[in-house]
Structure 1
Amino acid sequence: MATLDGQPVTPDDLLPLALTNLGHFTSMRVGADGRITGLALHLERLVRDCKTVWGADLDSVRVCDYVRQALDGHDGPCVIRVTIYDPTVDMGHPADADQPRVLVTRRPAGAMPPPPLRAMSVQYERDLPEVKHTGLFGALHARRAAQLKGFDDALFVGPDGHVSEGGTWNVGFINDQGVIWPKAPVLPGVTMALLQQHVDHQVSVVSLKQAKRMHVAFATNTSIGVRALSVIDDTPMATEHPVLSRLREAYMSIPGETL
């Protein structure tokens, strides 16, 4: 299912996005009751990123109308992705594109929580990390490299040796002091933000060496909730811990918001 400004999308509409990959998006998990966890934060992200990427104001009410349309008649959990891009964009003159439109797609939601994740460290930092943009080449290339080595995904480490985030997820850690989120250039993830509102935590620099000494490492995003990391490189990590259970319970207890 895909619509552009509420109308069926055509291949010609999608071609500029496919060829330039210039846009930004957010993915929202919709529960069986039709409510969306962190809806307000998702909308804030879209409005903020639209100003950054396109220099344009985004009507969040209109976005909600299109999402509501995509959910009409659909039962069961799903993931809605809202992508903001300009179908008139030209690779030679991207500054001329200033009329972003709203692409809405829907896919089935996976079970939560998913099984633990095996992560391989990769030196990489996303372009414009504060924006959830469609420029996924570097992240997916790192993920592919990790999978070819027998891992599930990549854990990004900066040139300074500090851990930042994962392929398409934020990473957090648990030690004797509690929950720690890395202080680094990362995407301000919605799931991470919600957990930070409900669970005591610290934000501090975490080196790769320190990460491997933590009691627990975990990934968070809208699609997976809170997912344990079972391995970082050749270092096994615990996948069960009372604080990890508390994080999962806290996230699942956050009431969804209606469109």
Structure 2
Amino acid sequence: MSSNSLPSFVVHRNGRAAAAADLAPLAFAGHAHFTAMQVRHGRVRGLDLHLERLRSSSILLYGRSLADDPVRACLRSALQASPPDHSLVATVYSPSGEFTAGRMDEALDILIRTTPAASGPAGPLSLCAVEYERVLPGIKHVGEIAKTHYLRQAVAQGFDDAAFLDRRGRLSEASIWNLAFWDGHAVVWPRAEMLQGVTMGILRRQLQRLEVPQREQEITLADLPALRGAVVMNSWTPAVAVHRIGNTALPHAPAFIELLHQAYQAEAFGAP
């Protein structure tokens, strides 16, 4: 393998190894949705949330969805062909592709790719605040050029990544992350149109089980000085510290980060 190539374990289409002819039409396709997960010892946290995401997003995009059992079978096939610890992305799409009206009687396909396990950056991170609203924000869909565009712009300006402000000035999410804040007592989730991440869903239900106070709040840049900490999260990690958003510094909150990791660890692993 060349030093410039990305390692990959398997690429499966509908539960079987994908051939070049399967992948060529998808090379630049931009109408599909997906879920990303970290597999450890052949098991996954929040599997029910991943399955629900695939079902609900398919219904919104295509008016129909794949049943859980065949999806789980495809996941098992990819897991069995990969090392015990890896990253997995499951993408659902219509074979008729984009720029077509599609057909309601057409079965959906699922493409699964596994790659080496990831754990995210160590942090703390600085986030450039940019005005941007994702199309269909509740769906984790492909082809989002803006995420990479604003990430690269942020890095060029001396930041680590970008956080998004909607047209009302509310913080929603970051490029590939959900945001969470700490007021010294409760976990504060931004109230705005955004993707409800699986890691976010795991944390919310485990924090509730642990009886940790949490609430939703509209958060603008002007609200940041009153908060006592901030993190980003995705499938890589439940919490990476954020020490600056725009021009506003945020205090380090190790107890907040430890709390989120504790809540995440309380979520049981499940097998497809």
Scaled by the length of structure 2, the TM-score of the pair is 0.88
Q: How many residues align?
A: 257
* Conserved 8 A contact 2:35-2:54: yes
Residues 16, 87 of structure 1: alpha-carbon distance in 2 compared, 3 angstrom cutoff: farther
Aligned-residue Cα RMSD (Å) equals 1.9
How big is each residue's C-alpha offset from its partner over 1:84-119, in whole Å with a ceiling of 9 and x where there is no partner? Answer: 01233252x233474320100001122367332221
* Conserved 8 A contact 1:126-1:139: no
Correspondence for 1:26? 35
Q: Aligned AA for 1:108? A: P
Correspondence for 2:172? 164
- Give the Cα–Cα distance (whole angstroms) in 2 for the partners of residues 238 and 76 of structure 1: 37
The alignment status of 1:146 with 2:146, answered yes or no, reads no
Q: Which range moves more in the overlay, 154-163 or 220-229?
A: 220-229
Name the SS for the 2:138 alignment partner: coil
* Conserved 8 A contact 2:163-2:175: yes
- Give the Cα–Cα distance (whole angstroms) in 2 for the partners of residues 119 and 138 of structure 1: 15
Q: Aligned AA for 1:5? A: N
- Counting only pairs closer than 5 Å after superposition, residues 215-254 of structure 1 correspond to structure 2 as 215-254=228-267
* Conserved 8 A contact 1:173-1:218: yes
Q: Which range moves more in the overlay, 69-78 or 157-166?
A: 69-78
Unaligned runs of 5+ in 1: none
Correspondence for 1:43? 51
Unaligned runs of 5+ in 2: 1-9, 208-212
How big is each residue's C-alpha offset from its partner over 1:163-203, in whole Å with a ceiling of 9 and x where there is no partner? Answer: 00011111010013411001100101111111111223000
- Give the Cα–Cα distance (whole angstroms) in 2 for the partners of residues 164 and 241 of structure 1: 23
- Give the Cα–Cα distance (whole angstroms) in 2 for the partners of residues 141 and 80 of structure 1: 24
The alignment status of 1:95 with 2:102, answered yes or no, reads yes
Q: Aligned AA for 1:74? A: S
Q: Which range moves more in the overlay, 69-78 or 183-192?
A: 69-78
- Counting only pairs closer than 5 Å after superposition, residues 1-259 of structure 1 correspond to structure 2 as 1-31=10-40, 33-91=41-99, 93-96=100-103, 98-111=106-119, 114-199=122-207, 200-259=213-272
Scaled by the length of structure 1, the TM-score of the pair is 0.92
Name the SS for the 1:111 alignment partner: coil
Q: CA deviation at 1:79?
A: 1.2
